[in-house]
Structure 1
Amino acid sequence: MGLSNLGIFHTVIGIVAIISAFISLIKSGTINLGKLTGKIYFYCTLVTSLTALGLSSVKGLNPGHILALLILILVSVAYFLHVKKQGNNRSRFIENFSLTFSFFLSLIPTVNETFNRIPVGHPLANGPKDPLIGKTLFLLFILFIIGSILQFRKQKRINKTI
């Protein structure tokens, strides 16, 4: 697979982040920073995004670095809103969207790297422009849109009862 030590660390922490996000989304419909799975997602995503800045097959700034910086911004905004805007129910919409969008963005390199590396010796895809990657990311985007709408509706109901 040809991963460096930083690449292995990045991958393991990234897998933990993705699993915790899935668990949080399944359990509560959101990535809830008040719950253990949400906290694990937040911290592992921070580490994964920061380590991504040290990984590159090409010299200089690349789209992967920009994606990592965007994810860092999204989870930081969500954390700020979670901690500093506790009583502001409108902030929950932005917090929920930021975390879910960061999760979706995290899946872009995850799908690309996984499909281009696994199974070893006969990967599922031949580069980032492979149609299988495009179709998979499109499906994930549709799921992201549906999930965001459901989260918005759920938060709207919560805000009305408070």
Structure 2
Amino acid sequence: MILGLTLLGAIHTLISLVAVGAGIWAFVRDKAVVPDTSLGKTYVWATVLTCLTGFGIFRHGGFGAPHALGIITLLVLALATFAWRRKPHGAAWAYVATACYSLTFFFHMIPGFTETFTRLPVGAPLFSGPDDPALQKVIGVVFVVFLAGLTWQLVRLHKARGIYPTPGAA
């Protein structure tokens, strides 16, 4: 075991890093997760696999908040997919899809920060556990950054008259 990770935990972590990397790249390149692109598909499928592999991890006992977050993430991804497919039927669906895909990225940050910084640095982790008040503050700051980014995305979408932007467009 490395850093207390089981084989499943290590696989789960690697898949989640692919999802986060694809998400960051999508936000930089396309200004949003665009599921019609190979990058968007990578993000979506890696997020699904992250959730599914997470269901087999029980570091903190039985079914808990991380498992609930996985279920919520899958539900939000389903809504995002539905909204994305409906966007030709009304501009509002583009806003829903954008918000949902961005929200799933924020969801990655919660266990990402929690699991990383309750293990690292080795021997002296930054946070004592998921309920550490300092960690909660960090997640709060990440949530504010998410809200600012989402607001920017939605304003950008509105300026484009609700038409989802072309990948790579400024």
Which TM-score applies when normalising by structure 2?
Answer: 0.87
Query: In structure 2, what is the Cα distance between the partners aligned to 1:129 and 1:57?
Result: 14
Give the unaligned 5+ runs of structure 2.
165-170
Q: Which amino acid aligns with 1:103?
A: F
CA RMSD of aligned residues (A): 1.8
Deviates more, 1:125-134 or 1:82-91: 82-91
Query: In structure 2, what is the Cα distance between the partners aligned to 1:59 and 1:161?
Result: 45
In structure 1, the partner of 2:59 is 57
Give the Å deviation of 1:123. Answer: 1.3
Please identify which structure carries the higher helix content.
Answer: 1
Deviates more, 1:93-102 or 1:83-92: 83-92
In structure 1, the partner of 2:168 is none
Query: In structure 2, what is the Cα distance between the partners aligned to 1:39 and 1:161?
Result: 20
Secondary structure of 2:161's counterpart equals helix
Give the unaligned 5+ runs of structure 1.
none
Secondary structure of 2:12's counterpart equals helix
In structure 2, the partner of 1:70 is 72
Mark the CA change 1:5 to 1:125 in structure 2 (over 3 Å): closer, same or farther: same
Query: In structure 2, what is the Cα distance between the partners aligned to 1:135 and 1:100?
Result: 20
Query: In structure 2, what is the Cα distance between the partners aligned to 1:27 and 1:87?
Result: 26
Secondary structure of 1:159's counterpart equals coil
Secondary structure of 2:35's counterpart equals coil
Give the Å deviation of 1:68. Answer: 0.4
Q: Does 1:105 align with 2:83?
A: no
Query: In structure 2, what is the Cα distance between the partners aligned to 1:54 and 1:86?
Result: 38
Give the Å deviation of 1:85. Answer: 3.9
Query: In structure 2, what is the Cα distance between the partners aligned to 1:5 and 1:115?
Result: 20
In structure 2, the partner of 1:92 is 94
In structure 2, the partner of 1:144 is 146
In structure 2, the partner of 1:37 is 39
Mark the CA change 1:133 to 1:58 in structure 2 (over 3 Å): closer, same or farther: closer
Give the Å deviation of 1:109. Answer: 0.8
Secondary structure of 2:40's counterpart equals helix
Identity of aligned residues (%): 28
Give the Å deviation of 1:132. Answer: 3.1
Query: In structure 2, what is the Cα distance between the partners aligned to 1:80 and 1:161?
Result: 16
Mark the CA change 1:130 to 1:90 in structure 2 (over 3 Å): closer, same or farther: same
Which TM-score applies when normalising by structure 1?
Answer: 0.91
